[in-house]
Chains A and B, each alone.
Chain A
Amino acid sequence: MGSKWAKVWPPLMAMIAFLLVWQGAVFFFRLEKWFLPGPAAVVQEAISIWPRLWEHTAATIRLTLLGFSLGALTGIIVGGLLHLVKRVKLSVYPLLVLSQNIPIIALGPLLVMWFGFGLLPKVLLIILVCFFPISVAMMIGLANSDPRLMNYMQMIGANKWHIFRRLELPHALPYLFSGLKIAAAYSVTSAIVAEWLGSSKGLGYFMQLSSKGFMAPRVFAAVLITITLSMSLFGIIALAERWIIRWQPRKEGG
């Protein structure tokens, strides 16, 4: 119990100090709300418009979860298939890397142009952003199993399926989870971008609307919620990881 506190309180103190300095600066320099609101004003604003804010948040959560799940599924399948068919992997891999250099800010409007303002282009955007870190993590994990264990499996005459299912796949799981954690953060921000580019609901839309109206407290409130969403998704994945990967010796303390 004590060691848990020792881990939690330094970042917590830093956080509180940051909020205090922020609030203090706003107060001390007499900054206008529309220019830079203090944390207290942001929370106040969020509470006063909560029903509307929650509607937008719910829309963003739905979009993020849909895009993330489909992206994760695509990433896992693509990673697994490319690993099993080595020749395809060699030819497709550079293309995959290349595709990651297309800025989403350019990709977004194109997708909207091709697929309209509905759900499809937004989900596609998130899938495109998500699946890459996941499939790469998956492939690296699958390709790097312990050579001694590999030798053992081959010596006892294990076939390709046994090797994949019992050696490579379990070995790839921790890699996969770190890919999922990275993709989780990406998927929330991509959802925001997608909503910003063409939507009538969601936090991205709400941020755009508020910033055009110089309503900084609302923008900040939306940002705060975005961060919370991102961290929650990360937390859920970390929990799932602990629940699924139980065979590793737990690290004690720091």
Chain B
Amino acid sequence: MTSALEVREVHKRFGRGGAAVDVLGGVSFAVEEGEFVSLIGPSGSGKSTLFQLIGGLEQPHKGEIRIGGQVTTGQRGHIAYMPQQASLLPWLTVAGNVELALEVAGTAREEARELTGSWLARVGLESYAGEYPHVLSGGMQQRVSFLRALLTPRSLMCLDEPFGALDALTRMQMQQWLLKLWEANRRSVLFVTHSIEEALLLSDRIVVLSASPAVVIRELRVPFERPRSETLWTDPEFNRLKQEIYAQLSQGEPAAR
């Protein structure tokens, strides 16, 4: 079986000569079909850079990227994407924003409209369908942003710290919301986060990056049964894993410098 995403020995350097910075120092990992993988690493370790490479906006120095078994290094248009800031187009309505993402991915306009309408209703946002994004709260905007990525007909979803800008309570609600939606519609997901708890709650597997030049210092399978709920937080195994990853992150950082 081919993986949804394979990142092979990817190196990335910014600048040249003496001012050059190695950001990625040979990163390799994979996301299997229908698997939820979280990427954790210190700030500045190159997670967003990795996304730009997967999205085809930047070229790696060395190494290659495969999506659905096909080499897509430097090619755009293979992923569904959800950025940290909701990035909804202010001149399109909520429905219009979702439809645009589908249209860019090649869905016919009629079909995009139907799909959007039925899904907005399904997640309880139908009363906002005709509103412009600025009337929505931050959490609501992120729901639309997630829905937009979920409906995009592409095999891999890349979410870059989607809840990083939200307050703690909204963030928790969003995690539950996303967990339910994803467990009902398993897509291949690569998810960047700074929160170890978030990664443990949501993912099947966690990939830990070192500080830049980043390499994978740890990969671990998250053993909890699905469907999951917030009661997981009280599980002793949950806390043990959290400690373990935390230790790894804080010792991985100085070692790489």
Contacts and interface: CB of A to CB of B under 8 A. Distances in A.
A198 to B, nearest CB: 45
B256 interface: no
B166 interface: no
B89 A156 contact: no
B57 A156 contact: no
A223 to B, nearest CB: 40
B55 A170 contact: no
Interface residues of A, number: 21
Contacts of B55: 154-155, 157
Contacts of A156: 77, 79-81, 101, 104-105, 152
Contacts of B76: 154-155, 157
B202 to A, nearest CB: 21
B146 to A, nearest CB: 13
Contacts of A149: 87, 89
A247 interface: yes
Given A154-B55, A156-B80, A157-B76, A248 B90 contact: yes
Interface in B119-176: 132, 134-135, 152, 158
Given A155-B51, A156-B101, A148 B85 contact: yes
B241 interface: no
Contacts of A159: 104
B57 A247 contact: no
Chain B interface main SS type: loop
Given A151-B57, A154-B55, A247 B132 contact: yes
Nearest to A162: B104
Contacts of A171: 91
A149 B81 CA distance: 12
Interface in A154-200: 154-159, 162, 166-167, 170-171
Contacts of B158: 155
Given A151-B57, A248-B90, A157 B85 contact: no
A249 interface: yes
Given A155-B51, A155-B81, A247 B91 contact: yes
B100 interface: yes
B56 interface: yes
A193 B87 CA distance: 48
Interface in B75-126: 76-81, 83, 85, 87, 89-92, 100-101, 103-105
B91 A170 contact: yes
A170 B77 CA distance: 23
A152 interface: yes
Given A157-B76, A170-B91, A249-B134, A151 B104 contact: no
